[in-house]
Copies of this chain bind each other. A is one copy, B any other.
């Protein structure tokens, strides 16, 4: 039933190799023949079988996308952008969810290896050495993890943390807490390092709380600790935790931002919808997805795998690009940060922050909801 190259060849009176060439090397076939073949193919609804093609060319025109948790709102924009970019380049995308499980990641890379031209590892939980090892099996691009010798797409959360701390210090906060992320997260380490430096420079003290699961629950569970720590501002590993913290503080009767200021990281769409709206370090997730796909595909055209042609040249040494891209982040100031105990005489909210990139969001809307200000 499914129409093959043979059917097209029969219908247009040529050999199958001519049909093949019509699609994969059109300049080698007579224009007249070409239009005839194309017409027949169109008529019959022929589409080349990519699996059969992959068998001989060694390129599947598929890529794999391995995600720690699809339901985490950080990832969908990345997936969407990556898929879109891949499809523009005529690639299809396998998506797999690991449930934050390192073992599942490894198994998935193995399972997918033969079926794809490369794999995107997003916020992996595996060890560096394992990733290194897997990269010998299939081309890898890593998102949100720095790894010597491998192509990586990173977001400059260090700069983001600095902006956030400077923003808070500028508002008059001197006791700041950092809600750490999951153990083994590169982002969490980086955040902690940069925030530490920035706090010291601003004459503020940084208390680290964690590690924590990178979820709403993780943030909520730390509300009590935050209050007990006596800090007036908190930088959370991500928005989800920041939002959980918002909830937890609300339940404890701690007002945000009057008593405690909260800053998140990621700028997921949700963060515009909480009350108060969340001040956060925006990470360019969509750009990261696009960039990662580009790097993967570039690597693949530079150093093709298997296939009949590449056998001799590829040789033993596994060459590859190891470009590392660092994407800019940006502090988005909304309503969850306000003046602290050491605030100057400036109008609250208009306080200048440090020199980092930041912008005030949603200038048109109602900045501070009435309900938040007069709450019990």
Contact = CB atoms under 8 A, between A and B. Distances in A.
A54 to B, nearest CB: 5
Nearest to A64: B92
Interface string A1-20: 11000000000000000000
A350 interface: no
Given A84-B97, A374-B375, 12 more contacts: A1-B306, A2-B306, A47-B110, A51-B52, A51-B60, A62-B94, A69-B80, A79-B95, A243-B273, A250-B366, A370-B375, A370-B376
A69 B269 CA distance: 14
Interface stretch (A21-29, A112-120, A226-234): A112-120
B97 A95 contact: no
Nearest to A110: B47
A256 to B, nearest CB: 10
Interface residues on A, range: 35 or more
Interface in A311-361: 314
A372 interface: yes
Given A71-B80, A97-B83, A274-B273, A114 B51 contact: yes
A28 to B, nearest CB: 24
Contacts of A69: 80
A114 B365 contact: no
Q: How many copies does the complex hold?
A: 2
Nearest to A4: B114
A371 interface: yes
B113 A47 contact: yes
B92 A92 contact: no
B50 A52 contact: no
A84 B87 CA distance: 23
A182 interface: no
A73 interface: yes
A49 interface: yes
Interface string A119-135: 00000000000000000
Nearest to A104: B87
Interface string A239-279: 00001000100110000000000000000011001110000
Contacts of A372: 371
Contacts of A370: 375-376
A254 to B, nearest CB: 12
A92 B111 contact: yes
A376 B371 contact: yes
Given A251-B366, A375-B371, A376-B370, A96 B83 contact: yes
A38 interface: no
A94 B306 CA distance: 23
B115 A92 contact: yes
Contact of A114 (B50, B77, B314): B50
